[in-house]
């Protein structure tokens, strides 16, 4: 099977119809076309020219084809030209130059709606009813009554909406490509005492690789030589580096901070933790179909119903009740005008566009109207901990000094000033906050995996974890203080001279200032459950959950386990997942809605449906309020449009329905839903 990237797909139903046509070709069995990822997979012996011809019927094309359109934003240019022509026609109409204005209106309609019009006609021939069919019937109805201005407005607004929806989907389709860039490509294989650069795909179980400082571990394995701290945030979401030594397991994709590691491979790359993350994201993108707006589903029944009613009004009275053919045709034409779905077509796009614009003003990027609609239905929100609820950065929370505290900070910061280790930098930052003027040590030596020692002002000091020190130095009070910090989920760094422990630091991931307030707001808004999913230790997770107020916590989760939790939550509610790291990407993709932090990894941002551009949670509650308002407005728009049309149709029973009444019904509904939708842009207190 060969794979191609397809662009220009307009809807999930259209993609399925194209897939069925491709499958009917010789060697087409098994061909797949995914709307979510834009990927086409076909047999290598299939006639590609026929495939291109089928795609072209829907305005789609293979991205790398030489025949593909040169200008990516062609639709945007056409819509811009249409708006200019529409304004010109309005001016000419004011000057009573009606003939010229009609021609210009027609040109504006052709630029914005010609593709949709052609597809709609094809759909009518095939008895396939979707948004394009509705759009085409709306235009035909407007042409029939000479409402060129209305037809132009509908065509332009539909063109704007189509461009914005396509732009959001195109960004989402790039997520997998961005994620793949995170994977290591090569490894240093140790063979016969020599190192050789090899592709990671060639590594076999039992191979030994050398991982230098700053390099990614190529695949899951076990340390057989060396000590170092390893950053596993890409896999587990754990912000704090994990100390690794002989006999300890490591994940592929994690980063070696310092020290040389010899790692024996225990899994081929295709079975590694990193590979599983990539596979989970790809699987979710291929199988998760976007929620369709109500109007698309309703159109399947609404349009044929109106056409049948119109034929009934035209034929039954003359044939069965000897009514006038002229009057019957007149009434039937009025029914068609009432049935023109202009108001229905505009009931959702304007509201969605207004909602996305309103959120964009607040720094919340929504990648398409369907995601905004889903946001309004969310009742459970799952949060990653590291980098989402917390800042993802080690922070000194406790300083316990057995000597003068400033002296302790001075000594510790001086020792750590030459280290790039995240814990060292946290201690240095703490000294800076207290305006301590530290200096570099006169001599130093690193004890990989434990800490370091150095000479400050002519005296030797040690700083590091518990393993670095003789246990005889730990008095009953020191043990009690250390145990208290451990129970609170802190990482502990000890400082000592040659005779005794001078003090200790409790270090943890710093909670974002807004996290607690946001969780409280979400609960007041009716969010049933707030859930924290983390790869961190249970005690640390419990402490964070207690401080911010989430209702449920699940700790020590790998990416695939986060996905399983999301699937469990999705059985009862519409679920949103908020995260920032590569390890969150599978959960973001599987949830009904993925929300990424603005300064998170590229894979998380590209996989997500919504991005919080300020890189904090502060605007999330307001974004949900706007989304709920959009959903209410769309439902109200549809109800009003159908009610006005139903009332007008009832006028056919006594024969009171006239063309003017039909036009008033259709135009009144269109204007009303447009104004109601634009009210969403108005600023008001939302929480």
Active site residues: 384
CA 362 to chain centre: 17
Q: What angle do CA 155, 160, 165 make, to 5 degrees?
A: 125
C-alpha to C-alpha distance for 68 and 66, rounded to whole angstroms? 5
For the purposes of burial, counting CB atoms within 10 Å of the CB of 486, is it exposed (0-12), middle (13-18) or buried (19 or more)?
middle
Strand partners, 597: 612
Strand 39-42 vs strand 32-33: parallel, antiparallel, or unpaired?
Answer: antiparallel
DSSP 446-495: EETTTEEEEEETTEEEEEE-GGGS-GGG--HHHHHHHHHHHHTT-EEEEE
Strand 610-612 vs strand 364-366: parallel, antiparallel, or unpaired?
Answer: antiparallel
Residue with tokens 């994977």: 183
**Nearest by Cα to 405 from 423, 378, 430, 424:** 430
**How many CA within 13 A on the CB side of residue 664?**
8
- Quick count: other Cβ atoms within 10 Å of Cβ 549? 15
Residues near 497 by Cβ (< 8 Å), separated by ≥ 6?
459, 460, 461, 462
**Nearest by Cα to 389 from 623, 619, 616:** 616
Would you state the structure tokens that stand for residue 681, as one six-digit string?
């842009």
Phi, psi of 494 (to 5 degrees): -100, 150
Residues near 360 by Cβ (< 8 Å), separated by ≥ 6?
366
C-alpha to C-alpha distance for 104 and 116, rounded to whole angstroms? 19
Q: What angle do CA 601, 284, 358 make, to 5 degrees?
A: 60
Task: For CA atoms 239, 240, 241, 247, give the dihedral sign.
Answer: negative
SS (H, E, C) 84-128: HHHHHHHHHHHCCCHHHHHHHHHHHHHHHHHHHHHHHHHHHHCCC
At residue 51, the 3 state secondary structure works out as helix
At residue 381, the 3 state secondary structure works out as strand
At residue 604, the 3 state secondary structure works out as helix
Integer-rounded Cα radius of gyration of the chain: 32
Residues near 671 by Cβ (< 8 Å), separated by ≥ 6?
none
């Amino acid at each position: 099977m060969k794979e191609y990237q397809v662009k220009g797909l307009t809807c999930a139903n259209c993609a399925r119809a194209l897939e069925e046509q491709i499958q009917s070709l010789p060697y087409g069995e098994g061909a797949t076309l995914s709307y979510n990822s834009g990927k086409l997979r076909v047999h290598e012996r299939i006639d590609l020219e026929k495939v291109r011809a089928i795609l072209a019927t829907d305005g789609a094309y293979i991205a790398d084809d030489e025949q593909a359109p040169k200008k990516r934003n062609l639709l945007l240019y056409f819509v811009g030209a249409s708006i200019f022509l529409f304004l010109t026609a309005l001016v000419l109409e004011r000057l009573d130059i009606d003939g010229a204005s009609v021609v210009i209106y027609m040109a504006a309609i052709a630029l914005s709606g010609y593709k949709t019009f052609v597809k709609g006609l094809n759909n009518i021939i095939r008895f396939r009813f979707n948004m394009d069919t509705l759009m085409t019937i709306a235009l035909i109805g407007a042409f029939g009554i000479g409402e060129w201005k209305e037809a132009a407005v509908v065509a332009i607004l539909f063109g704007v909406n189509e461009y914005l929806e396509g732009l959001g989907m195109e960004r989402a389709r790039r997520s997998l490509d961005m994620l793949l860039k995170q994977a290591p490509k090569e490894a240093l294989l140790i063979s016969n005492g020599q190192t050789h650069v090899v592709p990671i795909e060639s590594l076999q179980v039992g191979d030994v690789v050398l991982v230098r400082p700053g390099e990614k571990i190529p695949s899951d394995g076990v340390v057989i030589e060396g000590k170092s701290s390893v950053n596993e945030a890409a896999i587990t979401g754990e912000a704090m580096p994990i100390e690794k030594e002989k006999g300890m397991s490591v994940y592929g994709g994690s980063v070696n901070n310092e020290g040389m590691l010899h790692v024996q491979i225990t899994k081929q790359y295709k079975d590694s933790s990193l590979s599983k993350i990539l596979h989970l994201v790809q699987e979710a993108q291929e199988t998760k179909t976007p929620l369709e707006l109500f109007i698309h589903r309703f159109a399947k029944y609404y349009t044929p119903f109106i056409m049948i009613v119109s034929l009934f009004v035209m034929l039954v009275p003359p044939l069965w009740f000897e009514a006038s053919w002229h009057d019957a045709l007149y009434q039937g034409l009025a029914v068609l005008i009432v049935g023109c779905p202009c108001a229905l077509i505009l009931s959702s796009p304007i509201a969605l566009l207004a909602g996305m614009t309103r959120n964009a003003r607040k720094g919340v990027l929504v990648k398409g109207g369907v995601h905004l609609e889903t946001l309004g239905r969310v009742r459970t929100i799952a949060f990653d901990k590291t980098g989402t609820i917390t800042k993802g950065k080690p922070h000194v929370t406790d300083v316990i000094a057995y000597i003068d505290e400033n002296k302790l900070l001075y000594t510790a910061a001086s020792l750590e000033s030459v280290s790039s280790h995240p814990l060292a930098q946290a201690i240095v930052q703490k000294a800076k906050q207290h305006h301590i003027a530290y200096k570099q040590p006169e001599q130093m030596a690193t004890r990989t995996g434990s800490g370091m020692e150095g000479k400050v002002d002519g005296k030797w000091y040690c700083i590091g974890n518990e393993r670095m020190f003789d246990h005889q130095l730990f008095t009953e009070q020191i043990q009690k203080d250390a145990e208290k910090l451990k129970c609170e989920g802190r990482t502990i760094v000890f400082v000592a001279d040659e005779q005794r422990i001078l003090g200790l630091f409790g270090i943890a991931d710093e909670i974002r200032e807004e996290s607690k307030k946001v969780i409280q707001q979400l609960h007041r808004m009716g969010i049933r459950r707030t859930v924290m999913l983390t790869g961190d230790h249970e005690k640390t997770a419990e402490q964070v959950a207690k401080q911010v107020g989430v209702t449920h916590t699940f700790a020590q989760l790998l990416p695939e386990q986060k996905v399983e939790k999301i699937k469990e939550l999705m059985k009862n509610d519409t679920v949103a997942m908020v995260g920032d790291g590569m390890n969150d990407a599978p959960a973001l993709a599987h949830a009904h809605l993925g929300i990424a932090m603005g300064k998170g990894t590229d894979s998380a941002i590209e996989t997500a449906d919504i991005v919080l551009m300020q890189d904090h949670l502060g605007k999330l509650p307001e974004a949900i309020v706007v989304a709920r308002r959009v959903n209410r407005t769309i439902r109200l728009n549809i109800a009003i449009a159908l009610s006005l049309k139903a009332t007008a149709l009832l006028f056919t029973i006594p024969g009171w329905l006239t063309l003017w009444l039909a036009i008033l019904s259709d135009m009144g509904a269109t204007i009303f839903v447009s104004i109601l939708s634009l009210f969403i842009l108005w600023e008001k207190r939302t929480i």
